[in-house]
Structure 1
Amino acid sequence: MRNSIEFVVYGDYALFTDPLTKLGGEKLSYQVPTYQAIKGIVESIYWKPTLIMVVDQVRVMNPIRMESKGIRPMDYSGGNTLANYTYLKEPRYQVRCHFEFNMNRPDLEHDRNEHKHHNVLKRCLQAGGRRDIFLGTRECQGYVEPCTFGEGESFYDDYGDIHLGNMVHGINYPDETGRDQMEVRLWSPVMKNGIISFPRPDQCTQVRKVSDMKAKHFDANNVESVDELSARWGEEGNL
């Protein structure tokens, strides 16, 4: 696919929190990552407001295993609270994604250089990302490496369909939708032989408004263009 990258992301633990479990102070991970969590990983590899990162597919490589831990959350009132967090253990995923230009950002039209953005994105992936990688939450450090999607053996090869129930798909922000509000998207994924194919955010039918929100303004004065990045680093420069 045009402007695409494929990579593997892995770590010791992951916590893709089911928001329903947070009401009582506990946290329970979804069985698989949400679209928004993977999108956040891609944006940690390389992010520009000029681009919209679109996650196409995720392949679950390792068996889904859970581990619970007693955690003392930050309590500024001086309490001694003990909460139970349930993590995914030894997660490993292959990801296929691509970028598109954000047409709701006419103020960044000067930065739409497709070829250079793709080259920078691939170099950032090769370097392990421009920012730290997290698997759902900050205490779950992750690592990314280039790969070929579909290569290698997955625990769920030939496993058939697994229905995962109703989940959060992701969040709509005003700079990507053109609407002055933040929205949450829901969906019911089905994992087929270990592969989850995500619908595009604009194809999700279950959308709920969360709050009013305005998009942040970007222009040439507060965003370094990809031409300037390429000139500063050089085509083979380090990130």
Structure 2
Amino acid sequence: MDNIVEFKVTGKYALFTDPITRVGGEKCTYQIPTYEALKGIMCSIYWKPTFIWVIDRVRILRPIRTQARNIRPIKYSGGNDLSIYTYLIDVEYQVQAHFIWNMHRPDLEKDRNENKHFFSARRMIERGGRRDVFLGTRECQAYVEPVKFGEAQGYYDNYGTLAFDLMFHGFDYPDETGKGELQARFWRPTMQDGVIQFIKPEDCSIRRVIRPMIARPPSSVGLDEPGLLEGYSERVA
């Protein structure tokens, strides 16, 4: 059975940045959502360590507009500091995604039931997700609902081609790649009439090693262990 799911996500604010460069200081959003941010939304809607979500494409429905806001974040050394964060405002996206089995978890082979996970994901989309959904950062609350990809009129439907410069694509995690390191991927997206087709993670040619990491052995975690699920949600946030 085709395991493609489609949904709409809306929010008053969004902040999509490169996680490598956004530690402290001022933050400025990308103009479009990143692959990793949309994958994080799917993981908030429904996730199991048995499979990996793959984002196929996203459709931008509303005009790309930004707004600067004064923020007083907590400094690592104590106290507060004044910073300016630049957010996207009044966003609405249509997203299409599917899942593939995580072959680096052979202990969960018996849980590879495509129909079960597909219908569970659809039910969670109808209910707005299992966990809180946000657009890039925790303060940007978002809402999801089922939709048919391509329906309704979008602002960029007849806009033509719009190319973007180098931007963050996503992370390669050890439990998904089998490698003992965390890597960041980058790419140069192109939007055609409001639709951005994401390339597969393995097709990203620009990568940067963040740090060595050791994946937890499969025998040490269970299928629905809360600690594992919480740790995953924190890392994709």
1:50-100 Cα offsets, whole Å, 9 max, x none, are 111000000000000000000000135443310000000011100000011
Q: Structure 2, unaligned stretches of length 5 or more?
A: 226-237
Partner residue in 2 for 1:169: 169
Instruction: Give the conservation status (yes or no) of the 8 Å contact 2:48–2:224.
Output: no
Offset at 1:221? 6.1
Corresponding letter in the other structure for 1:207:
R
Offset at 1:111? 1.1
SS in structure 2 at match of 1:149: coil
Partner residue in 1 for 2:179: 179
Partner residue in 1 for 2:143: 143
1:207 and 1:79 map into 2 onto residues whose CA distance is: 36
| Cα 1:223/1:185, change in 2 over 3 Å | same
Q: Structure 1, unaligned stretches of length 5 or more?
A: 226-239
State the superposition RMSD in angstroms: 1.8
Do structure 1's residue 86 and structure 2's residue 70 form an aligned pair? no
Map residues 69-218 of structure 1 onto 2, 5 A cutoff: 69-75=69-75, 77-218=77-218
TM norm structure 2: 0.90
Partner residue in 2 for 1:7: 7
Query: What's the % identity of the aligned pairs?
Result: 53
| Cα 1:131/1:57, change in 2 over 3 Å | same
Indicate the structure (1 or 2) with the bigger Cα radius of gyration: 1
**Aligned length in residues:** 225
1:65 and 1:175 map into 2 onto residues whose CA distance is: 37
TM norm structure 1: 0.89
Q: Which piece of structure 1 moves more, 189-198 or 213-222?
A: 213-222
2:168 and 2:10 map into 1 onto residues whose CA distance is: 21
Q: Which piece of structure 1 moves more, 133-142 or 216-225?
A: 216-225
1:186-237 Cα offsets, whole Å, 9 max, x none, are 1000111100000010111112211111112345962149xxxxxxxxxxxx
Corresponding letter in the other structure for 1:42:
M
